[in-house]
Amino acid sequence: MSDRSVVERALIREARPEDDAAIGELLVEAYMTQYAKKLPEVVYTEERKRSLRDVANKRAISTVLVAEVDGEVAGTVALFPPGAPGSEAWTPDTADLRHLATAVRYHGTGLSRPLLDAAEALARQWGVEAIGLHVRRGVQGVARMYRGRGYVRTPEGDLDLPTVSLEAYLLRLKG
């Protein structure tokens, strides 16, 4: 399947309640598959899987977008507005980009591009100063993708949690 045909066929839209189960399973499968290849030491606990599957709660506090390809949820991303519960933004007036993933069968097709385009356009509509995000330390390909879109490494936003170390990136939208 060519990259171009997948991206051309993708419909980017806001997630609906009936998408929640598909989005949750997509997130668990994509994250477990990606990290198993790139960081085999990463173990996903049942608690983390439950959190990823809790899409209804995410939709209540953020805008969850999906990429639909041929009628199926093929990718997702969430954008939390400034000050939203659970936001990890470390600067004022910053949207928090989280949970970007594509179904494993679409990895490498470029499907993340239209999802990120839509999330960044939404943040501009909101009028925020910036978009912040975190990348698991050691996942260089993902970090390189964001840097290629103009996100800048900002160590002051790094998170060192008990189970994971995350590196911060920021995309300035104003000024």
Which pair of structure tokens corresponds to residue 12? 């980017």
Average pLDDT over residues 23-38: 82
139 pLDDT band, cuts 50/70/90, is confident
- Considering the domain 3-172 in this protein, what is its CATH number? 3.40.630.30
Q: Is 95 exposed, middle or buried (0-12, 13-18, 19+ CB in 10 A)?
A: buried
> Taking the domains of the chain in order of start, what are their residue ranges?
3-172
Kindly report the average pLDDT of the chain as a whole number: 91
pLDDT digits (tens, 9 = 90+) for 101-117: 999 999 889 999 999 99
Phi, psi of 5 (to 5 degrees): -65, -35
CA dist 50 and 33 (Å) reads: 17
CA dist 156 and 171 (Å) reads: 14
Work out whether the CA dihedral 82, 14, 21, 24 comes out positive or negative.
negative
- Going by C-alpha positions, the residue among 92, 57, 95, 64 that lies closest to residue 78 is 64
pTM: 0.91
Calculate what percentage of the chain has a pLDDT beyond 70: 91
Higher pLDDT, 78 or 6: 78
